Amino acid sequence: MVPITTFHYLVVAAALFVLGVIGVLTRRNVVIVLMSIELILNAVNLNLVAFSRMWGNLHGQVFSIFVTVDAAAEAAVGLGILIAFFRNKETINVDEIDLLKW
């Protein structure tokens, strides 16, 4: 058996990150985009915790708490924006949100 090193955690985190990024870039549904953003943040959390385990102190974990709080706030705000936008445009298709077009 291969011992589970920090590296494995980083890979997983990276994979999650990339998935999140692809989700943000390609999905049409705004809610899915928000979920993908959460995914990215969680990947970052995982990364931080892995490094915390590696260094043997709690710095990473403390920082991941901050990130979590930030994610929560951001989700709230993002949903608020989404609802405001839906009231305006009646759609949650990202491609149709182009009011700032030239």
Partner 1 sequence: MLFLDHIYLIPLFPAFGAAMMFFFGRRLQKATVDAVCVVVVFFAFLFACFTVVEYTHFAHGTGRPFEKIVYTWLGSGDGHLNFVKRDGTPASFNADAGFLLDPLSSIWLLFVTGVGMLIHIYSTGYMAHEGGYYRFFGYMNLFMFSMLTLILANNYMLLFVGWEGVGLCSYLLIGFYYHRHSASTAANKAFIVNRIGDAGFILGALTLSWYLGSFRFTDINTLVRSGHFAIGDPVLTTAALLLFVGACGKSAQLPLYVWLPDAMEGPTPVSALIHAATMVTAGVYMVARSNAVFVLAPTAMKTVAIIGALTAVFAASIGLVQNDIKRVLAYSTISQLGYMFLALGVGAFAAGVFHVFTHAFFKALLFLGSGSVIHALSGEQDMREMGDLGRRIPTTYRTMLIGTLAIAGIFPFAGFFSKDEILWQTWASEGGAYRILWFVGYATALMTAFYMFRLMYLTFYSPSRMSHEVEHHVHESPKSMTVPLVILAICSIGAGWLSWPHSLGGSAHFEKFLEPVFAREAAVFTEEGKSAQLAAGEKESEHTDKTEYALMFLSLAAAGVGWGMARRSYMNAGKGYTEPIAVDAPPLYRVLYNKWFVDEGFDYVFTGRRKIGNIRLGAMGAGEAASWFDAKIIDGAVNDVGWVTRAVATLSTWWDKWIIDFVGVNGPANLARMISYPARLFEWGLVQWYALVMVAGLLGFGVYYVWK
Residues lying near partner 1 in the complex (CB under 8 A) are found at 21, 24-26, 33, 94-95, 97-102
Q: Given the complex with partner 1, which of 19 and 61 has the nearer CB atom? A: 19
As given in the structure block, the two tokens for residue 85 are 């936008």
Q: How far is the CB of 2 from partner 1 (least distance, A)?
A: 26
Q: Given the complex with partner 1, which of 90 and 95 has the nearer CB atom? A: 95
Q: Given the complex with partner 1, which of 63 and 85 has the nearer CB atom? A: 85
Q: What is the DSSP letter of 3?
A: -
> Nearest Cα to 13, choosing from 59, 49, 44, 35?
44
CB atoms within 10 A of CB 95: 7
- Which segments of the chain are extended strands (E)? none
Q: How far is the CB of 85 from partner 1 (least distance, A)?
A: 11
